[in-house]
Structure 1
């Protein structure tokens, strides 16, 4: 059993309880099935960062609170030293490392994402989440399938897109790829 996954699931359940919401309320608000929501709360299945981001946005909770149990406090600036941000994703295809968990009321959520060349993903089912996303390739070569269109990005290339469109990334040339991902909230 993955302890971190179980802890995230427990925080998810605890926050839902503290907000006096039912599992059905949360599933509906996050646009997933009740069964899927219950699986996330069980701590037995991987919880996609896109779901955690949606939950935190819908209920106006800092993503950091769900991921680490800590509440961000920094208001003027926040520094994350190389290699110190918590690993937050629960998907085998990608490793997400939060690179700013302590700044409060962020307009965007930054991640350092590593894509292993061994992990091939089903490009017909992309991930979706609210907002907009900016990706800057730091190392390697990356294929992004965005709404069915295949795009190739090399080191130094970037893309900004509507993240409600299905999207997925694959490392190319049998080499790991790393990119900076910034997920932006869109004011309602």
Structure 2
């Protein structure tokens, strides 16, 4: 996994340099310190999916380009077979599987997100990113934290929200949860 993190970091750095953005400009856009952004580009710190999404937007590339190093090619349709999407463990509490990485000029990113249960008493780390997000629970139960609200979602429930607000998801009842996420 560490090698994959370094590969993604190298692609981000190369694309930033080719786009003539400074580290400072990128850090300001991502709303992180210059030091944290430099850690992302060096591969010494894993880049959260929400930050990768923002980097792709800023650099005007598809997120798949950052994840795989390949440009998406499909423009009529793309099929992702069960468990065959590009899998990325971007944050400790989530595992993402991209469902449409090979489609060019997507207007949204689609993921299956797996959330492992964690110890009680600690609220999960929140994140935010530009745009909107839709989540549909496939398995288990989730507690969604968003803008001073805590919402419990069970299998078959969904939520649509402004993802510029800090948010996080937590698996409940000591069981893993899985949801479909669409980020627009």
Q: TM-score, normalised by structure 2?
A: 0.95
Q: Distance in 1 between matches of 2:89 and 2:21?
A: 25
Structure 2 residues not aligned, in runs of 5+? none
- Cα 1:63–1:120, aligned 2, differ >3 Å: closer, same or farther? farther
Deviation at 1:90, TM superposition (A): 1.8
Which residue number in structure 1 is paired with residue 154 of structure 2? 154
Q: Distance in 1 between matches of 2:119 and 2:96?
A: 14
Structure 1 residues not aligned, in runs of 5+? none
Contact 1:30–1:58 at 8 Å: present in 2 too?
A: no
- Cα 1:174–1:140, aligned 2, differ >3 Å: closer, same or farther? same
The alignment's C-alpha RMSD in Å is 1.6
The number of aligned residues is 184
- Deviation readout 1:131-174 (Å, 9 max, x if unpaired): 00000000000000111210000000000000001100110011
Q: TM-score, normalised by structure 1?
A: 0.93
Which residue number in structure 1 is paired with residue 83 of structure 2? 83
- Deviation readout 1:83-119 (Å, 9 max, x if unpaired): 1111123211000110110001111100000000136
Which residue number in structure 2 is paired with residue 71 of structure 1? 71
SS of the residue corresponding to residue 36 of structure 1 reads helix
Contact 2:124–2:170 at 8 Å: present in 1 too?
A: no
